[in-house]
Amino acid sequence: MTCSAWLAWLWVAVLISFVHHPYSGWFLTALILLVLWLTLNDFLGIGDIPVLAIGFFSLTEQAFSLFLLLSSTSVLIYLAFQQENQQRRLPFIPFLFVGFVLAGLLSPLLT
């Protein structure tokens, strides 16, 4: 349930510095506020934030939306098949990885 994310934060800094992203300021501000709200209300862990940021800065708008959709859907599928008496808290980073890979593979097919 814990993740050392220092390397991911370094990668986010590189992406912010060298990659041009087409997102408008209001969209980026709204997304930052949403992620902070989710983190403060204990829905997301602090290690999930740089992984989301890597997806945000390395994928197109359409692929990022697909990334979030596939990550969330994979979590819901996992929770649907999880036994009732097990703990309901789970690490989100593996599901983000699955969503990132699938979005990278499927986004060229959608354009």
Question: CA neighbours within 13 Å on the CB side: how many for 2?
Answer: 2
Q: What is the pLDDT of residues 13-24, one digit of tens each?
A: 787 777 766 666
Domain ranges of the chain: 22-110
The answer to whether 53 touches 96, Cβ cutoff 8 Å, is no
For the chain, give the percent of residues with pLDDT over 90. Answer: 21
- Tell the burial category of 2 from Cβ atoms under 10 Å away from its Cβ (0-12, 13-18, 19+): exposed
The span from the CA of 13 to the CA of 108, in Å, is 26
The pTM assigned to this predicted structure is 0.77
Q: What is the pLDDT of residues 48-69, one digit of tens each?
A: 888 888 888 888 888 988 999 9
